[in-house]
Structure 1
Amino acid sequence: MRQPLAGIRVLDLGTRIAAPFCAGILGEQGAEVIKIEDPGRGDPTRINGPFATDDEGNHHSLYWSVEGRGRQSVTINLRDPQGQDLFRRLASVCDVVCENFRPGTLERWNIDPSRLDPRLVTARISLYGQDGPKSLHNGFDHNAVAFAGLTHLTGHADQSPARPGLPVSDYLTAVFAAQAVTSLLYERDAKGTGTGGVIDAYLYGSVLRIMEWTIAAYDRLGSVRQRTGNRSDRAAPLDNYRSRDGRYVCIVAVRQPVFERLCEAMGRPDLSTDERFGSSGARGRNRDEVNQTVADWTAGLDAATIEARCLSHGVPVGIVHDVADVAADDHVRARGDLCSVDDPVIGPVRQQAPFPRFGTE
């Protein structure tokens, strides 16, 4: 694999997800990553399930096997002056620090960026940012997605808001932060400024940045966007439709040419000239009817048949996969999206491969 960040050394000062994942991205692109853990306890992710057992019957976190990979670990007591001095010396021979403590913690420990080499790039990840009236509030991904408005948009209109299935803000913030780290490294090294900088990456901010037109519509139209489940409140057909064999198939046919092809696949070419469905606007106004029509069709066929018919007519489609489907999928296998990582405790563990890839890797 190409390693464009080879020669860069990263200190992973984080815990759980966001900062360690940021460091991990840099590591997968060639950087050396050194993780600093609390003596005696280590990173809390080490005790997060699910667990596998080693040869001696001890539990080992599979969460840690995935998110702790690709780095060396040392323990330093950062609450102790000797540990703080050790950290400063270690940081002096590094390029990047990734941390996600509550704002003010590094300052209290005398290891904040103002006390470190100005060449360092420091990614500071927190819930609400390094300043502002909520900056010292503690919390997690659940709080971030709720605060940024994503929880309000997730779920069905007639049910309570739902959280996304994964800690989206942790991983998303880590990706934004890793990109910003590489930008400051480029400025420092390629442009020759010789100085790094501080990145203020906060969980709710990454979610806010991907909220599409939600803020603009509120600003100019006064509209408050609402959750619509798997459907859209302005376009159809679009949903995860249940099949005869109890699976779900995602079909997206909102553009007029695609809808016409779906009608052919369904054996219902008449639908494309029905005045209720004959244009994108008409289908948006009659979205419940057109979605129900598609649902009635899928209910009479197995998922594989639905997928095959849609694909043969050029309709965007995909069976909703669980992890077993993903692991067995021939496309995933052909692309090398999963890899085996040799965990030093429990041996080879199949998991997600580094992403993205460079060129034809």
Structure 2
Amino acid sequence: MIPFVVPSDVDDVALASGGNVYDRRVSAVAGLTPVPVAGRWPVPDTASRVALDRALAEVPDGTVTLVDGLVACGVPAVVVPHARRLRLVVLVHMPLGDDTALPGERAAELDALERETLRAAFAVVATSRWAWRRLTGLHRLDPERVHVVEPGTDPAPPGDGGDGTRLLCVAAIVPRKGQDVLVEALAGLADLPWTCTCVGSVDRDPEFVGWVRDLARRHGLAGRVTLPGPLAPLPGTELAALFAESDLLVLPSRQETFGMVVTEALARGMPVLASDVDALPETVGRTAAGAVPGLLVPPDDVPALTAALRRWLTEPRLRERLRDAARKRELTDWAGAGDRLAVLLDDLGGPR
């Protein structure tokens, strides 16, 4: 079985990132052997570097070895020596320097570390076509060494098609996910009936979480905008139940490499209102007939998001058209995603 080096918190529901969900689901389908490594990734301390070095040192020479980019990309001093003897494949969920909260100098430093790691890797796996373009351009990688394996979805029955007032945002409460923009936009809709549940980790940036909650209080929305924290990932959990009883997914991200929650919503026939940024237009996609199963607005544009939400809340025909498109959107399931990764890794294990 192929070893897959992952962060040790990969099963932590409180940190239920899309990357962790992806790692778990493809591991199960592709028959990978998870190798959890503790550390403060992507910038580990000495003990974490030692743990990663030991984990890689235990893998025999020439073995195809998959490593989560969150673990690998920030420590080329540890990873590159092993890349010379292993068929090291780095899975990049998001370029390290692309986090919008990073200062410019820090982002450039992480870009340089990631570039050194990825150029030494045997191959790179990106999770979207947009990410493929971003990585090959940013790090000037050979396009033939970078492969795309998009996340899958869990098929589920469509929701009950309510009155549109139940809004849902599923994302860690951090600046790049844009929950502050969402609250500001909702403040312009106080005259309409709606509720908005923002599910996601509240531990990554407590200062930002406090800012979002304060915004809701100042706008008189504390009872209408709720931040319950993280819920167990899909399927068959509280989050699945919340999807079933919601009407519209809203994802006002400032940056997004794929946006797994978008396809999770579409798999349930739920339309999406998302930022027109990075991979999100491709993730929202179109039906075979060309219909878009949602609405796209510019990132960080409060008036545009308010206007789109008002349309959703006040135009029944628009809601039905978007719901119909969401139900018809063709998606890949997790079995297909895991099989694609398994085939890719098997091919990479062939003759050099």
Instruction: Quickly name the TM-score band, shorter chain normalised.
Output: 0.3 to 0.5
Higher normalized contact order (CA 8 Å, seq sep 6+, divided by chain length)? 2
Question: If each structure's helix is expressed as a fraction of its own residues, which one has the higher value?
Answer: 2
What TM-score do you get using the length of structure 2 for normalisation? 0.34
Query: Which structure: larger Rg?
Result: 1
State TM-score, norm by structure 1.
0.33
